[in-house]
Amino acid sequence: MKRKLIFEMADEGPAVKMATRPLEGPDHWLRILKAAEKSSFVNGNNRRVLCRLGDGREMLEEYSMATGCVTRRAWKSHTPLRGPPEWQVELGEPPSPPPLTDDGLRESNDQPILTRRNTKKCLEWRIRNLPYPIETYSVAANASEKCIFVRTTNKKYFKKLQIPELDRIGTLPVQANVEYSHKFNTLIISYKKPPELIQFEKLWLEELNNVKEDDNPMDECKPS
């Protein structure tokens, strides 16, 4: 049984390391995904899609059936010399905090915590536990590094934010698409999706609508 994901074209308005290999453009990346072995499972309002790429990598995505937005993306790469492969989360909530050590210690939970989410119009990063006022932050797109740099004037925080969605379709970040705000000790950074990415996502969701659903819930593919 096929179920269609809802996707609405966003109003364009005015003018994790294994997943960010430089490619030729959105058409090239779309061809790679179309050629991948794909399986799908629907649970309630969420759809999980597993893609096994020709180079041995696996990409696991979870979508909201209501919005058509991807809510989670993880990657697994099979490397013989590194032991059993593990899922690396690119998008969505990070793994649960590690258990206490033998001496009862755990990394402080007041350290900055980075999470990623996507909307129809924007790529978004949220960095929690940053108490500084908005004027403290510098958020700058860097085309040569294909990333966004986050700095504070008090030199208390620095972060290089990768943008794998742009890298995969061969698009460089531009400062005009960057916005940020700060509230409740959280720095919220939004990057407006360029037309190339919006069109790619539309075509990819159309491709996923042709993937037959499996009865297997793919529990073994659940990232930690």
Predicted confidence (pLDDT) per residue in 122-181, tens digit: 999 999 999 999 999 999 999 999 999 999 999 999 999 999 999 999 999 999 999 999
User: Are 93 and 224 within 8 A, CB to CB?
Assistant: no
Place 75 in a pLDDT band, splitting at 50, 70 and 90. very high
pTM of the entire predicted model: 0.81
Instruction: Specify the pLDDT at position 214.
Output: 83
DSSP 56-92: S-EEEEEEETTT--EEEEEEE---GGG-S---EEEEB
Domains of the chain in sequence order: 17-93+196-221 (no CATH), 113-193 (2.60.40.790)
Q: Is the pLDDT of residue 24 over 90?
A: no
Q: Is the pLDDT of residue 37 over 80?
A: yes
Instruction: Specify the pLDDT at position 216.
Output: 63
